[in-house]
Amino acid sequence: MDQARRNVKREQFVKTKNLGTNLEDIDAAVSILRLGGLVAMPTETVYGLAADATNENAVLKIFKAKGRPAYNPLIIHVKNTRMAEEYTQWNDVAQTLAEKFWPGPLTIVLPSRINSKIAKTARASLPSIAVRMPNHPVALNILDQLDRPLAAPSANISGKISSTSADHVLKNLNKKIDAIIDGGNSSVGVESTIVTFQPQPTILRAGAITPKAISNEIGSKIHHYDKKGPIIAPGQSKSHYAPNAKLRLNAIDWKQGEKKLGFGNVNCDLNLSKDKSLTEAAQNLFNFLHLLDSSDPITISVSPIPNEGIGLAINDRLRRASLKE
């Protein structure tokens, strides 16, 4: 074992390096990843907890740090469509969607290539792989320099509130990961839309790219994932994004003692968007849940959010955050 590798090993679970976005710090992050370490990095959706997707050991560390169940596969981040083609059975529909939405908040699930070098652990032994090219200069720079795909789930403890800032990441994962790159607040604020084509075009998770936008591109109807059907989305079946607090959704009045998360022209503790902008509400969502949450047994009541555009994703996250099991 060479000295650099020993250093990464020794530092793990001891000290999380706080990195910025200057070239030297990006180089440091790339070295850590090359040696099989874990780096939390900004993306436009939420912060990701990245590891070399071709390194089984590195990927295992992600599952360990997050407390993530082994059956829940990771999204593989690529630097371009060529890299996606290396690992998946790429097709014309994927190409059409990538040309329109990449880099950006769209994850495409495709059959894995036979003998793909992606760690089996990353895809939870499934025959498919979820790929995405993120639209963030830091993430793209790292992918470019590393020239390997990165497995990167959201950088939070499994089942808990996602991270849209470096502070959120540190709150959960300090001393469990090798480094965090502080790239400011995530601009989209909710995770990518996930789409699959088998057995039929289906949205597995709502995000900033709407079903309508996808269906316009592919020229066919798109279905919504129905939990009652066969399991094609292993991570979509349970409580997620959950604060300690209880959530009361679609609140049209406030009860005494509750924390109030508003939307629009209402009196509240924190307002997702006074101007009723769903884009702004998505940007604020996880940060405000982090801020209002408490270890005391409290309730956070939330104003109704229109179920359109990115509002579909906001309501999906709120609904799942309100489930306790």
> Taking the CB of residue 200, how many other CB atoms lie within 10 A of it?
10
Largest CA distance in the chain: 62
Tell me the C-alpha distance between 117 and 111, whole Å.
14
Among 7, 21, 31, 72, which residue interacts with ligand TXA (rule: CB under 6 A)? Answer: 72
Q: How far apart are CA 139 and CA 153, in angstroms?
A: 13
In the complex, which residue's CB is closest to Mg ion?
154
Tokens 């720079």 belong to residue:
141
C-alpha distances out from residue 164 to 33, 183, 188, 238, 240, Å: 21, 10, 9, 21, 16
Identify the residue among 154, 165, 196, 202 touching Mg ion (CB under 5 A).
Answer: 154
- CB closer to ligand TXA, 107 vs 301: 107
* C-alpha–C-alpha distance, residues 263 and 310, integer Å: 14
Interacting partner of 28 out of Mg ion, ligand TXA, none (Cβ under 5 to 8 A depending on kind): none
Under the criterion CB under 6 A, does residue 192 sit at the interface with ligand TXA? Answer: yes
Minimum separation from the CB atom of position 256 to ligand TXA (A): 35
Contacts of 76 (CB under 8 A, 6+ apart): 53, 87, 118, 122, 123, 129, 130, 131, 132, 149, 150, 151
Q: Does 271 engage in binding with Mg ion (CB under 5 A)?
A: no
The residue written with tokens 């808990």 in the block is: 160
Q: How far apart are alpha carbons 101 and 171 in whole angstroms? A: 32
Q: Which does 46 bind (CB under 5 to 8 A by kind): Mg ion, ligand TXA, none?
A: ligand TXA
Residue 244 Cβ, how far from Mg ion at the closest point, in Å?
Answer: 17
Contacts (CB under 6 A) with ligand TXA, residues 34-53: 43, 45-46, 48
Contact with ligand TXA (CB under 6 A) among 36, 42, 103, 153 = 153
From Mg ion, ligand TXA, none, interface partner of 36 (C-beta below 5 to 8 A by class): none
Pattern 229-268, ligand TXA, x by CB under 6 A: ----xxxx--------------------------------
Interaction partner, residue 130 (Mg ion, ligand TXA, none; CB < 5-8 Å by kind):
ligand TXA
User: What is the residue whose two structure tokens read 């993530």?
Assistant: 68
Binding-site partner at residue 48 among ligand TXA, Mg ion, none, CB < 5 to 8 Å by type: ligand TXA
d(CA 156, CA 173): 7
- Contact criterion met (CB below 8 Å) for 173 and 39: no
Q: Does 61 contact ligand TXA by CB under 6 A?
A: no
Decide if residue 187 touches ligand TXA (CB under 6 A): no
Q: Which residues bind Mg ion (CB under 5 A)?
A: 154
Q: Which residues bind ligand TXA (CB under 6 A)?
A: 43, 45-46, 48, 72-75, 105, 107, 109, 123, 126, 128-130, 132, 134, 152-154, 191-192, 194, 204, 233-236
